[in-house]
């Protein structure tokens, strides 16, 4: 700003006060900045009292590294500021903490294990969620969503109140009969998804459940992304109908699913989910299902005997080993393909 004022002064010979009025710069601020420039001092000083001690950035960075960093927040920042308040402002400390948290998030994303599903109908994923728009009665409807992991093909969702275990079991039975049951069904640890009636349906169709680790949504991240697609599509269709009757939600959700199933996707090399699912759909006989279950349970038992892990964790490891061995999945870390399990 000082350079601009000096240029205008040189070209027009106007008084500084007039120039400041024209560019809406307080004249007192302008004179103060000029004096600081002549003294080779910072033009703008940070707010608050001057710090007594020079900051020891090495020690501050070490203390920041010891904090508990989440994805969006860091615990313990207030206590850390109280320890270093004589040498650094709260704003500068928060900036350093945000930079450290950003670096950790980047490193975490780069080292994430990614699983690419190579064959359709090997595994489906199911997850319920609450839709944010209220219905005609003022209540928020629930959507129970399910999709094939390899093709992203989405099946007609349930919509309405929080589904009970019996309702989910009936919905699964209908979907299995219409499309053929998958080999695996990924789900979270909700009581209605792990209901006795649901487990009985899975046993009847020889479908092996694969539960997510507790408090770790990325394990079932594909269905989380699918939920976002469904909700965004519903928001677009219900834009001019903010109080949709509860009984109409399922029809709207099915329409959105149909649109998503026929949308070309770069991850499917330009094809849509419907094409990929029905063109490469894999079916499993009862014998194949029994053999897979026996192999996985044997490996789970070996893992439990040799490692101190929870049974569900050992089950997930064994399932991943079998899928990798059969070529149904490809596991990568930071873009590098991991060797298959032997």
Secondary structure of the chain as H, E, C letters: CHHHHHHHHHHHCCCHHHHHHHCCCCHHHHHHHHHHHHCCCCCCCCCCCCCCCCCCHHHHHHHHHCCEECCCCEECHHHHHHHHCCCCCHHHHHHHHHHHHHHHHHHHHHCCEEEEECCECCEEEEEEEECCCCCCCCCCCEEEEEEECCCCCEEEEEEECCCCHHHHHHHHHHHHHHHCCCCEEEECCCCCCCCHHHHHHHHHCCCEEEECCCCCHHHHHHHHHHHHHHHHHHHHHCCCCCCCCHHHHHHHHHHHHHHHHCCCCHHHCCCCHHHHHHHCECCCCHHHHHHHHHHHHHHHHHHHHHCCCCHHHHHHHHHHHHHHHHCCEEEEECCEECCCCC
- Residue 342, pLDDT above cutoff 50: no
| Token digits of residue 98 | 């945000």
Least confident range of 67-71, 132-136, 287-291: 132-136
Q: How far is CA 204 from CA 51, 164, 176, 298, 322, in A?
A: 71, 19, 11, 21, 22
Name, in order, each residue with C-beta under 8 angstroms of 25's C-beta and a sequence gap of 6 or more.
1, 5
34-59 as b/e: b if 16+ CB within 10 A: eeeeeeeeeeeeeeeeeeeeebeeee
Proportion of the chain above pLDDT 90, given as a percent: 38
For the chain, give the mean pLDDT: 85
pLDDT value of residue 217:
67
For residues 167-186, give the mean pLDDT.
Answer: 94
- Give the domain ranges of the chain: 2-38, 57-110, 123-284
pLDDT, tens digit, 9 for 90 and up, residues 262-278: 999 998 999 999 999 99
pLDDT value of residue 263:
93
| Token digits of residue 97 | 């903490």
- Report the distance separating Cα 38 and Cα 27, nearest Å: 17
Class of 123-284 per CATH? alpha beta
Please choose, from the candidates 58, 57, 77, the residue with its C-alpha nearest in 3D space to the C-alpha of residue 67. 77
- Report the distance separating Cα 312 and Cα 291, nearest Å: 20
- Residue 50, pLDDT above cutoff 80: no
**pTM for the whole thing?**
0.67
For residues 99-115, give the mean pLDDT.
Answer: 79
pLDDT, tens digit, 9 for 90 and up, residues 276-331: 999 989 999 999 999 999 999 999 999 999 878 888 999 999 999 999 999 999 98
Higher pLDDT, 227 or 205: 205
- Residue 230, pLDDT above cutoff 70: yes
pLDDT value of residue 47:
64
- Report the distance separating Cα 292 and Cα 323, nearest Å: 9
């Amino acid at each position: 700003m000082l350079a601009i004022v000096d240029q205008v002064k040189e070209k027009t010979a106007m008084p500084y006060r007039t120039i400041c009025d024209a560019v809406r710069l307080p004249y007192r601020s302008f004179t103060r900045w000029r004096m600081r420039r002549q003294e080779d001092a910072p033009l703008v000083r940070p707010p608050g009292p001057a710090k007594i001690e020079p900051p020891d950035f090495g020690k501050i960075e070490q203390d920041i590294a010891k904090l508990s960093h989440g994805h969006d927040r860091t615990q313990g920042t207030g206590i850390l500021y109280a320890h270093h308040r004589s040498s650094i402002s709260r704003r500068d400390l928060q900036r350093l903490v945000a930079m450290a948290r950003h670096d950790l998030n980047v490193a975490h994303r780069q080292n994430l294990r990614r699983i690419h599903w190579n064959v359709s109908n090997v595994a489906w994923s199911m997850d319920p969620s609450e839709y944010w728009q209220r219905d005609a009665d003022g209540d928020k409807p629930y959507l129970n969503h399910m999709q094939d992991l390899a093709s992203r093909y989405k099946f007609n969702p349930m919509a309405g109140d929080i589904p009970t275990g019996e309702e989910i079991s009936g919905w699964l039975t209908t979907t299995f009969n219409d499309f053929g049951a998958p080999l695996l069904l990924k789900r979270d640890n909700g009581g209605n998804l792990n209901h006795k009636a649901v487990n009985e349906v899975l046993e009847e169709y020889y479908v092996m459940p694969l539960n997510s680790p507790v408090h770790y949504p990325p394990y079932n991240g594909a269905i989380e992304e699918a939920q976002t697609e469904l909700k965004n599509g519903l928001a677009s269709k219900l834009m001019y109908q903010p109080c949709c009757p509860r009984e109409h939600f399922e029809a709207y959700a099915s329409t959105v699913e149909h649109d998503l199933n026929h949308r070309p996707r770069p991850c499917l090399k330009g094809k849509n989910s419907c094409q990929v699912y029905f063109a490469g759909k894999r079916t499993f006989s009862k014998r194949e299902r029994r053999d897979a279950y026996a192999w996985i349970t044997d490996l789970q038992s070996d893992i439990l005997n040799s490692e101190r892990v929870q049974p569900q964790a050992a089950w997930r490891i064994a399932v991943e080993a079998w899928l990798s061995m059969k070529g149904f999945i490809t596991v990568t870390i930071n873009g590098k393909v991991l060797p298959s399990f032997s």
